[in-house]
Structure 1
Amino acid sequence: MTKQRAKSLPVVALVLILATPVASWWLVGDLSEEVAEGVELDYGIPPLSLDPLGDGVVGVLACIAAIRALALLVSATSSRRLDSRWWLVLLPLVGAGVLVGFAWRVLTAGVIGANIGGGLTIIFGGPLLGVLLIAAAAAALQIRWSRVRRNGSNSA
């Protein structure tokens, strides 16, 4: 692999991390309650939508981007261009992306009355999101410190 392609791996990882919540949001779909005609739904957070076609295009493109990025990263790992320890950073971030996409659908769902699912998502999803982000940060710091120690011991 050329040096230029090796430098693109962080960009590929970023594409995976950013495309995952959008793909998750689209795959979950609208969670609004089905009601009889004439009944208005309540929204704690109004949903953002381009229209059904626009949402579908964005969702499909996000899925394609996430799958392609994942395939490139797995290939780079199998050919040893990507240190496998970085998966300890990527997997919690991808999990956080799935959680964010799902949570956004729950929080923007149209309901009659209170959005109990939205409250439960905040109560349980918020701490879970925190744990995933802390795990990713701790793994990244551990990789960084091991590199510093290894490079520091070589120069002494």
Structure 2
Amino acid sequence: MRDHSKNRLALITGRYAARQQEKAAGDRRAFDDAFRAVRGEVILPVLGEIAAELRSAGHAPRIALDEAPETPSVALALGIRGVTAAPGTDLIAFSVIQRREAPEILAYLVVKPPPMDLLRFASPADITAYQVEQLVVDAIEHIFACRSI
């Protein structure tokens, strides 16, 4: 093959790779933006209601947002009365992850014993207030049970 053709192919494939990278970055930005919208419209209101109930029972829950571009997330730290928890434990979180080709939203809890994945959402549009409420209440029950041992 002539050098001229090799150079042209290198330019063609290089441009193609750059466009694919730009497209993937744009897809990820759109996914993250959709997660942020669902977080604000669905997840945060549910976590706020649950936190209010926990406060009325004498606990000190806290909601934390992470705006890091690579991992937007939201977490509810339970602040269980009478428990001195290690930082980053006794919490339920929703976070954008990308361990496969496409990003996902991972719902997980962190409690001693080790953290546990609860559910993965392929699309932010799949998340409903009912699902969030049920998932978080179930996770709280698990955390309180672990703390009661």
**Fold conserved (TM > 0.5)?**
no
Find the structure with the greater CA-based Rg.
2
Greater relative CO (CA pairs within 8 A, separation 6+): 1
Higher relative helix content: 1
More strand by share: 2
Q: TM-score, normalised by structure 2?
A: 0.29
